[in-house]
Amino acid sequence: MSPRRSVAEALGTRSAILERGVAIASCEGLEGLTIGRLAADLGMSKSGVLGHFGSKEALQLAVLDRAGDVFRAEVWERARPAAPGLARLRAICAAWISYLERGVFPGGCFFVAAAHEFDGRPGAVRDSVEAGFETWRARLEKEARRAVDAGELPAATDAGQLVFELLGAAMALNHALQLHRDPLAVTRARQAMESRLGGVA
């Protein structure tokens, strides 16, 4: 039990901190994620936790990055095997709904929560959340444009409008699941997305 650990051990510890940090922040928010709570949960000292990041803001950014890895793996990577265009857009929507329905993050979508927590507070955390959303939005819009170009969606389709409405359905689903614990919302979200993507009701 020497106080100095190897590089591999340090990386393992860092990873464990982030995993626990994502779980806590998902429920309590990124500001409610305190260094003391994290240390207590992991059986470490506060300074032992903080030493891996340097400041609370750096910890928040690292936790946000880790949550982004989870979202990408659960939604984007699951849909990537599908053919570009409408098929992939449908696969993304299915994986997105599943990600919310399964409660991958116990407190609901990590990024929607972080967006509401930080949208009024300038700083690096806010910038990171905004950039993450913009990347996601652009990725969806690209698939939508491909679908239009391939004739899979009407030529008059406004890709930006389509993505706005898909985002709205995902947000309404997240809200209904987290606040009202209403599983019927899954069907509503699916129908909202499908009616936008030209599926039959």
Specify the residue, 94 or 115, whose C-beta has the smaller distance to its own copies: 115
Residue 72 interacts, among its own copies, DNA, none and using kind-specific CB cut-offs from 5 to 8 Å, with none
Q: How far apart are CA 146 and CA 136, in angstroms?
A: 16
Whether the CB-CB separation of 81 and 36 falls below 8 Å is answered with no
19: contact with DNA by CB under 7 A: no
User: Which residue type does 155 have?
Assistant: A
Give the CA diameter of the chain.
Answer: 67
CB of 59 to its own copies, least distance (A): 18
Whether the CB-CB separation of 91 and 150 falls below 8 Å is answered with no
Q: How far apart are CA 146 and CA 142, in angstroms?
A: 6
Residue 189 interacts, among its own copies, DNA, none and using kind-specific CB cut-offs from 5 to 8 Å, with its own copies
37: contact with DNA by CB under 7 A: yes
End-to-end C-alpha distance for the chain, whole angstroms:
62
One character per residue 155-184, x = contact with its own copies (rule: CB under 8 A):
-----xx--xx-xxxxxx--xx-xxx----
Reference 27, options 36, 37, 39; nearest CA is: 37
User: Which residue type does 10 have?
Assistant: A
69: contact with its own copies by CB under 8 A: no
CB of 48 to DNA, least distance (A): 2
50: contact with DNA by CB under 7 A: yes
Residue 194 interacts, among DNA, its own copies, none and using kind-specific CB cut-offs from 5 to 8 Å, with none
Residue 142 interacts, among its own copies, DNA, none and using kind-specific CB cut-offs from 5 to 8 Å, with none
